[in-house]
Amino acid sequence: MEILRELFRDYRFAVGFIFLVVLAILAFLSFFSPYDPVRWLQVPRDLAPSREHILGTNSKGQDVFWEATFAIRNSLIVALIAGFLSRVVAVLVGFLAGYKGGLADRVLMGVADGLLVIPLFLILVMVAMLLRDAMTIVNTGLLLAFFGWAWDARTIRSQILSLREREFTQTSILSGNGTMSLVTKEYLPFTIPLIFSTLISNIAWAIGMEIVLAILGLVRLEIPTLGTMLQWAISYQAMLLGYWWWILTPIVLTIVLLVALYWLSVSVSEYLDPRMRIQRIGVRET
Amino acid sequence: MRFVRDYLIPRLIQYVLVIFFGITAVFLIPRLTGQDPVLEVIAQIQTQGASLDPVAVKSLMESLRELYGLKGTLGEQYLTMWKRIFSLDFGPSLFQFPAPVSMLLRIYLPWTIGLFATSTILAWILGNILGGVAGYFSQKRWSKVLDAVIMLIRPIPHYIFGVILLILFAYLWAIFPAGGLMLGRKAVFNLRFVMTVLRYSFLPALTLVILGGAAWFQQMKLLVQNIKREDFVQYASAGGVKERILISRYVMRNAMLPQVTQLALVLGQVFSGVLMVEMVFSYPGMGLLLYRGVTRGDYNLVMGITVLSIFTITTAVLVLDLLYPLLDPRIRHR
Amino acid sequence: MALLEVRNLTKIFTVGSVFSRLRIRAVDEVSLTVQEGQIFTLAGESGCGKTTTARIILGFEYPTSGEIIYRGKPVQEFLRQKNWFREVQAVFQNPFETFNPLRKVESYFLEAAHNFDLAKNGKTAQDVIEEKLRAVGLSFPEIAGKYPSEFSGGQLQRASIARALLTNPSLLLADEPVSMVDASLRMSIVNLFRNLCDTLGVSVLYITHDLATAYYVSDRIAVMFRGNIVEEGPVEKVLGNPRHPYTRLLLESIPEPDPSKRREERVVVCEEREEYLRAGCKFAGRCPEVGEICVKEVPQNVLLNDVLVRCHKYASKKEV
Amino acid sequence: MSAILRVQDLQTFYVLEVLGTRKVVKAVNGVSLDIHENEVYGIAGESGCGKTTLLRAMFGNIEPPLRHFGGKVLYRMDGEYLDALSLPLHKSREMRFTYIAYVPQGSMSIFNPVSKLRATFMDFLESHVPGTMRKSLLALAEKHLESLGLSARVLDAYPHQLSGGMRQRVSIALATLLRPRVILADEPTTALDVVAQRAVLQLLAAVQKELQNTIVLVTHDMGIHATIATRLGIMYAGKIVEEGYTPDVFASPLHPYTQFLIHSLPRIGDKRVRESAPGNPPSLLHLPPGCPFHPRCPYVLARCREEVPPLLEVTPGHRVACFLREVNHGTA
Amino acid sequence: ELPGGIPREETLIVDQLTGRVGTPSNFNLWAGWRWQDRGLQQLAMEPLWTVDYATGEIIPGLASEMPIYNQDFTQMTVKLREGITWSDGVPITADDVVFTIDLHAQNGNLPYHGPMAEFVSKAYKTDDHTAVVELKKPNSRFHTNFLDRWGCLRIMPKHVFEKVDPVTFEFNPPVSSGPYVLYDYDPAGFWTLWERREDWDKTPTGILYGKPQPKYVLFQAFESAEARILAQLRHELDMAQHTLEGLRAVLEKGNTVRAWRKEWPWVVNIDPCITGIMFNNMVKPYDNREVRWALTLAIDIVDYMAIAFDLMAPVSALHLPPVPAYKEAFFIPMEDWLKNFELDLGNGEKFKPYDPEVPLKLAEAAKKRGYAVPEDPEAIRDLFGLGWWKYAPDVAEKLLKKNGFTRGDDGKWRLPDGSPWKINIVADVNVASHPLRNATAVAEAWRKFGIDVNLSPTEARESLILNGEFEVCDQWPAGEPWGAGVDLSRTFNVWHSSLLTPIGKPVALGPGMAARWANPKLDAIIDKMQVTDPFADIEGTRLLGIEALKVVVEDMPTIPTYGYCGAVAWDEYYWTNYPGAENPYSQPYQHWPNFKYMLPFLQPKKQ
Ligand SMILES: Nc1ncnc2c1ncn2[C@@H]1O[C@H](COP(=O)(O)OP(=O)(O)OP(=O)(O)O)[C@@H](O)[C@H]1O
Ligand SMILES: Nc1ncnc2c1ncn2[C@@H]1O[C@H](COP(=O)(O)OP(=O)(O)OP(=O)(O)O)[C@@H](O)[C@H]1O
Ligand SMILES: [Mg+2]
Ligand SMILES: [Mg+2]
């Protein structure tokens, strides 16, 4: 609680947090939606925002607001699965390769490099095509997670490599810490800002990728996500026909989501670095 | 010599293995997607009005399989593929039969390199410089404003951003063309040619530079904010070293190192952004070529492009790994 | 039985990049023996390989060749055991690097107490820690909740010593443990070492530049120069009657805490790398008594009156 | 002799706010010093008593969490005194290293890891002096390096290629590069063996002699103070407790802490047990009332527990902050 | 900026439907698959005959008249026009015709090898302008191989092709029989530029309609709908086919842009294609006629049309596009039958599914949506079609229950074996395309009815459909008819039982065949059609068509929904007098081969 209070003194954390809470509430609201997100012609079409439909309606006859609640929910699921799962893999692989070195390092980094050098997008498209019907929200997340860890594992590994050489590693060993606590207690704090910032870029990437896949029609277009919402709006020329509420909603939501994540990550990683925190406190007071 | 034995040779083996597995994956995956390039062509011919009777279809399919080199088991095809790779001939494009893949590459590669390489490098330079300076002066007002603006721009999908630029600069204020590069096959390389190409590439490049640059900007800014707190920066700063020198030689140079490595790898991840840009601006590039190849089951084309790109990226990474000690004196090969 | 025996230890570092590689024998055929309950000083110029030797003993670095015997067994056998570090502890040279800047210093104490089962519960752990901290002039409330950057160098150094003493080790490798501590405290810490040594039989491998303190506290001393031990023996004999020209130079260079004895003559200092690569005696470059043979041949160890000297000058006076 | 650097009742504290509670570490707590031209001013003291902090404040480099609570740091320039703590940024930048230079404690990582040392030297030169002077200054720096036992070639090395001792020496050469009037050296020899230490001191002395400038030297090694310092200040718990000409301080230390400091020095050939000050150094977070040394003082008086003794002159140039002086010297 | 600085006002710029050309340097449209709508079929090639579906007539091109068959349809004689030449000056003669037929009969790598090898026994010329083809077996419709309606076997220049391998030959630059020659093209395939022949008067177009007006015609591909729209708004694109929404956008934003119809619903509603939903009749439970009918009756066509095409297309209850010619020949004559057509619901219950009121209901919905809908019932029938099937979920329910289907407690349907019913629809990926629009609409309808529908747009759609690896798809519901005349053989041939292809093997003929359905009654009709002379016995042909339509309706192997509508837009900034609903002198598409016959009528606006 204390920590949260401290964090909330940073306006970026506060705003990011509030944004995220708002998005989470939106996502949660989807469970109470009066409309089925997949069905068409539930409301009159192409209505501008009004009291009845606060974000208007689209050409499919759906209420944009309620559709957006589903979209944000699903996109969050995709992004979180992709982000967290790939983080877990990246952290495990990075730590293992960096700390153990030797064969484990060679093999793991070989796999990571293999993933990195293949034009990832191409594979994504092919696998998305291969999975076809199986491109559910969860599977989309898993797929993105599968391709999203390699670079970050590499970065984490190199950080571990240099941390391994620092003297406090030995102090920790001398204090009787085993590999697990060494890694979690000594290295994790150093890598957390990195993990956070890669988490954010990974989530951003996942959301962007989902949008790209949607624009290419490679995910299930009926399931509302930020990407498919955008794709329908694009295909139905919402921009040129002046249905700005339709196209702007997913864009603004994407931006809000990423801004929130960005600020949260910046603020949290600053918080985790005592040097920076001290500086911040000093700066604020003088 | 120990360097060769302990570092270079394992690294080279890794290089070869990565290429090998990458190519094998790219060989297998499209064959699993259920597309049959021959059927794809048959379907096209049917929509074209030709009435084929079943016997004819059968024989046509046979002869197409023969022509396309798709006869035989997967294993045989796999061998053929390696033979082709070693003879640097990827065979004909299946969907754009009989155009050889190598010819298609010759046509599109320069465009892609022209647009993509320049805009990536430009984005990299701009993003890093701005990010570096903004990170250094992160307490300043303008830096915060810039950060906010970029934060808002970065999440915009390439497609949307491209269309917005198109509407702004090719319609509302029509100073740039909406697409359709009119050079022709007899294009001569002269000033007009260059100007035309620049005019047509400007908006696509702008999209890539701004969106790409925004990502670099954010990364660089974070890096710089960390490096700014290192002892050597603090010391030099306390020692009255000029800010200009401090930013460029201390902060940026150190922050640049990870960015260099990433640049090489970004090459591998471009197709998505570039594809979208090519779509919006009808730009002749590899992204669309590849995408169509994938969706139409044009194995040869996909193979050609991916082999090329796997090879380039792997080599770039290898070269970078070998040269990295020159950039960062602290790194030793081990 | 000797507690710790180092036999012919050699460590070669390769430095430089792909293009200009250089092999440095940072530790060169070093042998030494530390008995139980003994304070053994390792002195010598900076960069002569003292820290490296200590790190190899701890198992943080692998020797190029040579052996380390602890209680009659090669250390490799101990390295895998957790209890190794209950027996052997170390204080590192650079206090600013000793603790993770992102972690509170206290956590190392609490962890060590926990990991080595030093106390049955949190309260007794606190007492154990407090006791060790007191011994070095700190207290738990003083370190509680603070990150390393909030300490002064000397405070960190003392904290580091207290941490090392937590497990009551049999062997303490102390790498310049008091370099940033004022003279008065320095005395109380070396007195502490002496006490531990005398009462509990703790052995200390004391690495230092401060020869006066070394003289004050230790039983034996080895003087290193560019990877070699050039003179080794009981501290009174070595420092009281230095034989090797380098030992003499060292002693001469000690600044006397007496303003009335200000020296005027200048010292010559040679470049490190140059000396490492020198054939023959590495000190030849600045030895006032340098002879022809010194430049060409590597000197051998000579045992003189319980003192081992590595100098051509004494080659003829061999005892054994 | 007039003071070139004058510290007046300086108070700089570390202000920490952890989870809402505010902690104040009174690292420099009312220090007044006059440092004269052409002298070596040694500072010794308890570890953690605020020496580094004092030097940082004298360098005018006060950054969070360190904050300035009062007092002045005055530089004398062209006969006028400028307050280093209220100079405009560009002005203080200009002065750094040309007027006042600083060798930080534990100066292991102060060099840019990716450029050669020569480049780092050039950066300082470029920032402070016009083109023509750079060459000669660099040549001088090379000479300094050589007298420190480093060939000028180390300038073509990267920092990580040097051992700690070498780096320390290079950082001293860097501090003397621009011929500053004042050099603040914070434990410049801790990582060095006695031979190298001697070379460093020789260099500092030579530079000082040549430039007729001032060196403020912090070290725990009383031997070094004895060897080089003109005057000596002893710090304890954020305050100067004794100050005087080096021979005077060594010969007749007045403050009980100084006495402990001097008497606890071991000597080769003498293995008698040395006593050090009893008890523990005080925490700067919670200073005891009155004289901060009183809990450890064998001669503690009643008033010591309540009043803070002022720093007063006892004999010419020799000042002490202790009520005992009245007992010992007051009558003399 | 146009290539080589050619003047914009003399150039007609049109959109290329099939997108960027993959083989830009290859103009050999006889081998493999070529992007023939880059101007090859429209400008460079004159076929023997062309279908004009706007008028329902056949335009003789290189041929001077309709084909002449002998009595038993074993011989076809082609009379060629006189005074026509290839663009290199060589006259077009019967030699070219004979050469083309012979070559195709012999070379197995050419797509038209099949029919030529099957039927041609001998081809020869009797004089320079008369070619005779002897057939191995009777075929009253052999000439349709040469009848152009988006592709046919076109006549090759013998003097060019006799020297080369016809499969690998690039034919660059192409030698034209049509009124334009190649001027330049984009090596990346984005555009192809044609220039009017000096001797345009030596081409059938010139002879029939006079001088084509644009000196240059530029075919240009756009990769995104937005770019296409913006180009047209900038007057850089004269003729384009947009998505429906794209059309609305250009019409809204461009003040010089017009569409086929000047008022709502703007789109071209005379296209000879019918869209709809296809069942795989070899997959359970879609092999059951009553299930298919139940699924048809579960569709509320008003909602369906709103989703699929925003109510702008004419519905069709028959497997035929509701174009004017077919309305006359089939729809109106069959109305009574349709109204009386009954489904047997079991227990002696009957249900008449046809609903002639659908057009009115559609008009009502369109009015509600805010569109300017005419009041006149005839005009409404023009716009919305004649009628469709009733929305009768209750009847559908009965039919399903009769066949053992059940409804679960959740209201969802279960298959007779008790497992949940999930329909998987293989669909196109292009959101704006007619197929996916149909798929979306039907998915919506069936979901509403209580069936789980999985809409699965996939790039592998073509392969899956051809191989029969689908349950339901969004493919055209029936083979397209010719678009001219009353001969429906092209629509029904594909369903002859002899052609039934097992799942896993690709079907050979056009789209309808993928439904894998056959009916002995239809077999008989098809056999009869083969021996009915479509020229001499027009009425007989028409009646056979009606009989066939009845059989198909009864079985409903696929669901026809609405006639394809092209969302074309023309910019009248540089050119005017495009054909329009008010003046349908030609079909309106720039990608159809008839395009060349439109060009002489265009008028430059700026000169
Ligand atoms: N990891 C390493 N890689 C390369 N060289 C090294 C490494 N560690 C130490 N060295 C070199 O080995 C030599 C001995 O170093 P070491 O740290 O043992 O010296 P030291 O006696 O502890 O010196 P000091 O008194 O300055 O601490 C030095 O020249 C140093 O540069
Ligand atoms: N960044 C910081 N935050 C909080 N407290 C600090 C910080 N830096 C130093 N201190 C505290 O300020 C006091 C003075 O520290 P300083 O580094 O000036 O001591 P010092 O006299 O230089 O000691 P040493 O001789 O050990 O280097 C110490 O008690 C230390 O704990
Ligand atoms: Mg050391
Ligand atoms: Mg200090």
Judged by CB atoms closer than 8 Å, whether chains meet at E431 and A221 is answered as yes
- Residue C104: pLDDT band (50, 70, 90) is confident
- For residue A175, give the nearest of C97, C115, C147 by CB distance: C115
Give the C-alpha separation, E591 to E14, whole Å. Answer: 9
d(CA B300, CA B105): 12
Distance between CA atoms of residues D14 and D23, nearest Å: 8
Q: Which residue has the higher pLDDT, E511 or E271?
A: E271
Give the pocket of ligand 2 (CB within 6 Å).
C 149-155, 180; D 14, 16, 25, 27, 47-53, 65, 105, 284
Residue of B nearest to C16 (CA): B332
pLDDT at D327: 62
pLDDT above 90 for E532 = no
Q: Report the candidate in B46, B41, B43, B48 with the shortest Cα–Cα distance to residue E148.
A: B48
Q: What is the pLDDT of residue E358?
A: 94
Q: Contact C97/A173, CB-based, under 8 Å? A: no
Of these ranges, B155-159, D150-154, E385-389, the one predicted with the greatest mean pLDDT is: E385-389
- Domains contained in chain A, number: 1
Q: Which of B305, B303, B300, B306 is nearest to B68 (CA)?
A: B300
Query: Strand, helix or coil at E236?
Result: coil
Tell me, what's the pLDDT at D19?
Answer: 56
Chain B: residue whose CA lies nearest to E2 = B182
- Tell me how far apart the alpha carbons of residues E235 and B215 are, in angstroms, rounded to a whole number: 37
Q: Which residue has the tokens 């000297």?
A: C309
Which of E168, E223, E509 is the closest to B52 by Cβ? E509
Cβ of residue B333 closer than 8 Å to a chain C Cβ? yes
CA distance B90 to chain D (A): 44
| B319 exposure class (CB count in 10 Å sphere: 0-12, 13-18, 19+) | exposed
Q: Across residues E317-336, what is the average pLDDT? A: 91
Ligand 2, atom 17, lies closest to the CA of C152
What residue ranges of chain A have pLDDT lower than 70?
1-2, 132, 273-286
Give domain status of residue D234, yes or no: yes
C263 and D205 in contact (C-beta within 8 Å)?
no
Taking contacts as CB-CB distances below 8 angstroms, the residues of chain B near E509 are 46, 51-53
- Here the tokens at position A154 are 């590499």
CB < 8 Å to C210, chain D: 221
Residue D12's CATH number: 3.40.50.300
Confidence (pTM): 0.85
Instruction: Determine the residue among E107, E186, E228 to mutate to test chain B binding: the one whose Cβ has the most chain B Cβ atoms within 10 Å.
Output: E186
C243 and C69 in contact (C-beta within 8 Å)? Answer: no
Q: Do C21 and B3 touch (CB under 8 A)?
A: yes
Query: CA-CA distance, E473 to E414, in Å (whole number)?
Result: 21
Residue with the bigger pLDDT between E425 and C296: it is: E425
Q: What is the 3-state secondary structure (H, E, C) of chain B?
A: CHHHHHHHHHHHHHHHHHHHHHHHHHHHHHHHCCCCHHHHHHHHHHHCCCCCCHHHHHHHHHHHHHHHCCCCCHHHHHHHHHHHHHCCCCCECCCCCCCEHHHHHHHHHHHHHHHHHHHHHHHHHHHHHHHHHHHHCCCCHHHHHHHHHHHHHCCCCHHHHHHHHHHHHHHHCCCCCCCCCCCCCCCCCCHHHHHHHHHHHHHHHHHHHHHHHHHHHHHHHHHHHHHCCCHHHHHHHHCCCCHHHHHHHHHHHHHHHHHHHHHHHHHHHCHHHHHHHHHHHCCCCHHHHHHHHHHCCCHHHHHHHHHHHHHHHHHHHHHHHHHHHHHCCCCCCC
Tell me, what's the pLDDT at C273?
Answer: 60
Subunits in contact with chain E (3 or more CB pairs closer than 8 Å): A, B
Residue ranges, CATH 1.10.3720.10, chain B: 101-296
pLDDT tens digits for range C179-231 = 888 888 888 888 888 888 888 888 999 998 888 888 888 899 999 888 888 89
Q: What's the average model confidence in pLDDT over E352-371?
A: 93
From D25, D59, D187, D222, the mutation candidate for ligand 2 (largest count of ligand atoms within 8 A of CB) is D25
Residue owning tokens 């603070």: C146
- Cα–Cα distance, E410 to E561 (Å, whole number): 30
Q: Does C288 touch chain D (CB under 8 A)?
A: no
In one-letter notation, the amino acid at residue A200 is I
Neighbours of chain B (3+ CB pairs under 8 A): A, C, D, E
| Mean pLDDT over the full length of chain E | 90
Contacts B332 to C, Cβ<8 Å:
17
The closest-lying atom of ligand 2 relative to the alpha carbon of residue D49 is 21
C45 reaches D (C-beta below 8 A): yes
Whether E269 shows a pLDDT value over 60: the answer reads yes
**Would you call D19 and A3 a contact, using CB atoms and an 8 Å cutoff?**
yes
The number of domains in chain C is: 1
Q: Which of E184, E223, E506 sits opposite B288 (nearest CB)?
A: E223
Q: For residues B131-144, give the mean pLDDT.
A: 89
- Look at E399 and C267; give whichever has higher pLDDT: E399
Q: Which of residues 570-599 of E touch B (CB under 8 A)?
A: none
Cβ distance of A230 and B294 shorter than 8 Å: no
Amino acid at B119: S
Which ligand 2 atom sits nearest the alpha carbon of residue D285?
29
Integer distance in angstroms from the first to the last C-alpha of chain D? 27
Tell me the C-alpha distance between D283 and D5, whole Å.
29
- Average pLDDT for residues C5-27, to the nearest whole number? 74
Tell me the HSE value of D313 on the side-chain side, using a 13 A CA sphere. 5
Judge contact between E275 and E320, C-beta under 8 A: no
Q: Check CB contact under 8 Å for D67 and A286.
A: yes
**pLDDT at residue number E281:** 94
Strands lying side by side in the sheet with C65-70 = C22-34, C4-15, C65-70, C73-74
- Dihedral sign for Cα B50, B55, B56, B62, please: positive
Domain presence at residue D106: yes
Q: Confirm if D73 and D85 have CB atoms less than 8 A apart.
A: yes
pLDDT for residue C16: 55
**Shortest alpha-carbon distance between residue C161 and chain D (Å):** 14
- The alpha carbon of A255 is separated from its chain's Cα centroid by a whole number of angstroms, namely 12
Residues 6+ apart with CB under 8 A from D60: D73, D84, D85, D87, D92, D95, D96, D100
Residue C74, domain member (yes or no): yes
Q: Cβ of A151 and B222 within 8 Å?
A: no
CATH architecture for residues B101-296: Orthogonal Bundle (1.10)
Give residue C175 CA to ligand 3 midpoint distance, Å. 7
Residue that wins the pLDDT comparison between C91 and D207: C91
Residues of the domain holding D195: 3-114+158-328
Q: Is D14 on the interface with B (CB under 8 A)?
A: no
ipTM value greater than 0.90: no
User: In the Cβ-directed half-sphere of B163, how many Cα atoms lie within 13 Å?
Assistant: 22
Tell me which residue has its CA closest to atom 4 in ligand 2: C150
Instruction: Check residue A275 and give its pLDDT.
Output: 59
Q: Residue A282: its pLDDT value, please?
A: 37
Domain CATH number, residue C94: 3.40.50.300
Q: CB distance C18–B333 less than 8 Å?
A: yes
Higher-pLDDT residue of E568, A216: E568
Does residue C320 form part of some domain?
no
How far CA D261 is from CA of C187, D202, D235, D236, D269, in Å, comes to 9, 25, 11, 11, 19
- Contact: C209, D280; criterion CB under 8 Å: no
- Pick from D51, D103, D234, D235 the residue to mutate for probing ligand 2's pocket: most ligand atoms within 8 Å of its CB: D51
Lowest mean pLDDT among C241-245, D106-110, D183-187: D106-110
CA-only gyration radius of chain C, Å: 21
pLDDT value for A285: 34
Chain D: touching chains (3 or more CB pairs < 8 Å): A, B, C
Chain D contacts of C240, Cβ < 8 Å? Answer: 268-269
Beta-ladder partners of C88? C171
Q: Does residue E132 sit in helix, strand or coil?
A: strand
Residue B130 token pair:
């701005």
Q: Minimal Cα distance from A4: which residue of D? A: D19
Q: How far does the CA of residue D124 sit from the closest CA of chain B (Å)?
A: 6
Q: Quick check: is D229 in a domain?
A: yes
Contacts of B58 by beta carbon, 8 Å cutoff, 6+ apart = none
C170 touches A: beta carbon within 8 Å: no
Provide the greatest CA pair distance for chain E. 78
CA B226 to ligand 2 centroid distance, Å: 23
pLDDT tens per residue, range E95-144: 999 999 999 999 888 888 888 888 999 999 999 999 999 999 888 888 98
Site from B33, B36, B46 to mutate, E interface, most E CB atoms within 10 angstroms:
B46
Which carries the bigger pLDDT value, residue D223 or residue E300?
E300
Residue C319: inside a domain: no
The pLDDT of residue B170 is: 86
The single-letter code of the amino acid at B186 is: K
Query: Residue A37: which CATH number?
Result: 1.10.3720.10
Strands D312-315, E75-79: pairing kind = unpaired
pLDDT at E404 over 80: yes
User: Among C10, C12, C13, which is best to mutate for testing ligand 1, by the most ligand atoms less than 8 A from CB?
Assistant: C13
**E191 vs B180: CB contact, 8 Å cut-off?**
yes
pLDDT at D260 over 90: no
